[in-house]
Structure 1
């Protein structure tokens, strides 16, 4: 068995000198795959994501990208290695235009960004339409598109999304999920934390159910949706 492209391997850790929030937690994703982390509130879902991105101390375990140990790297260094991260809130520059937001995403690049910009506009046509508008004037769903688009401007090999559909309508959620599938089809790995567990597992190649910072269930999205225990405990029956 070859190792997954990105793996947070048996991670234990927490914030600063506080107690461990994660306990032997493992999450991974392969090239072009969608992996989804679900579970009840306070289960450590976003914490697991932040651990993989280097935003908290991993006291035990390791994070590896393409076989390279990146456990000690800063988040900035991980972006340079090909990891894009979209936080749940405060994820756009509200006073800047849509296009300026996207340009900010390419701050590490020294090549021509025009083609990537065109790809983002193709993926999210509404952003092209509103490219000269202040991002703060957009709807919640459109702001999320800006945030994802900005992360894509770094040309990531892995895109990490923390609750991308939080606070958007069901129609917008479906549209965002469709776009996420399109991104994965280009070969980018998607690791995503999602409150809308049922809908997220429907598009997931792989799913992780976390409870109190531990892996409770790991399987394909379809298998988890079909599991009576998972359905009863986490998906409302």
Structure 2
């Protein structure tokens, strides 16, 4: 089975996590949303950020991607300090980001969306497009159709596929299952697992906390912009306090 290729890995593996975002403090204007938040992801891991509304989950994701200036803290990718890099520069370093909304070009075809996703590529992208179609066969069948005409779940697949076109080593997903049916949610989670198995690290904000923690190697429960619980997905699911407070019992 073909796999989505990543950028060439460095010759020596860093001992620290592939992504290390530590003690992040920042927000909008003068108001801090993040209060010392720390997120770490190893190569090929699925890391899930959950928590109540207003906990700073999406803000933490934007901070990692450089869309939010930090007053304190550090962000390192493969051991390199990237705190001063723009989002586009972070894409060149191996990050891919799929926002929750406005994540496709609705008037463009599916294939044109994927081609736009490869904006940093100078090589032949045909193989990567076919790998995306293999990952998302429902989208492949509609490659010549305007992306805006697809179902919500199919649009999310296009958005993820477009991010994969840069061959990222870290893929960040902001609530990828928002607004989709339970069946489509399960399919998306299956594809996310498949992507991680190719060696791509996944950092995901998800409102469906219970289902997301079931596939998570590591989970972060944020409350008011700080880490309340950090553990494996399995351990968090088994924690009575986490289940009672955040998972509905």
| TM bucket, shorter chain | over 0.9
Deviations 1:158-200 (A, max 9, x none): 0000000000000000000000000000000000000000000
Within the candidate set 78, 92, 104, 1:66 is matched to 78
Counterpart of 1:93 in structure 2 is 105
Which segments of 5 or more consecutive residues in structure 2 lack a partner in the other structure? 1-13
Structure 2: how far apart are the matches of 1:218 and 1:207?
Answer: 6
**From 196, 202, 209, the counterpart of 1:197:** 209
Asked if 1:160 is matched to 2:179, the reply is no
- Structure 2 equivalent of residue 11 of structure 1: 24
Query: Could you tell me how far 1:210 is from its partner in structure 2?
Result: 0.1
**Secondary structure of 2:40's aligned partner:** strand
Which whole-Å CA distance do the structure 1 matches of 2:15 and 2:106 have between them?
A: 43
Q: CA deviation at 1:156?
A: 0.2
User: Normalising by structure 2, what TM-score?
Assistant: 0.94
Partners in 2 of 1:91 and 1:18 — Cα distance?
28
d(CA) in 2 for partners of 1:54, 1:28? 16
1:207-218 matches, within 5 Å, as: 207-218=219-230
- 1:74-85 to 2 correspondence within 5 Å? 74-85=86-97
Aligned CA RMSD, in angstroms, stands at: 0.8
Q: Aligned partners of 2:20 and 2:46: how far apart in 1?
A: 13
Q: What is the aligned partner in structure 1 of residue 3 from structure 2?
A: none
The residue matched to 2:148 in structure 1 has which SS?
helix
State the TM-score, normalizing by the size of structure 1.
Answer: 0.99
Deviation track 1:213-232 (CA, whole Å, cap 9, x = no partner) reads 00000000000000000000
Aligned to 2:4: none
Q: Give the number of equivalent residue pairs.
A: 236
User: What per-residue deviation string (whole Å, max 9, x for no partner) do you get for residues 90-112 of structure 1?
Assistant: 10000000000000000110000
Superposed, 1:36-47 pairs within 5 Å as 36-47=48-59
Match of 1:188 among 190, 195, 200: 200
- Structure 1 residue 105 corresponds to structure 2 residue 155: no
Determine helix, strand or coil for the equivalent of 2:32: coil
The one of 159, 162, 166 aligned to 1:147? 159
Q: 2:40 aligns with which of 28, 45, 48?
A: 28
Query: Shift of residue 18 of structure 1?
Result: 2.5
Q: Following TM superposition, where does structure 1 have runs of at least 4 consecutive aligned residues deviating by more than 6 angstroms?
A: none
State the secondary structure of the residue aligned to 1:20: strand
2:131 is the counterpart of 1:138: no
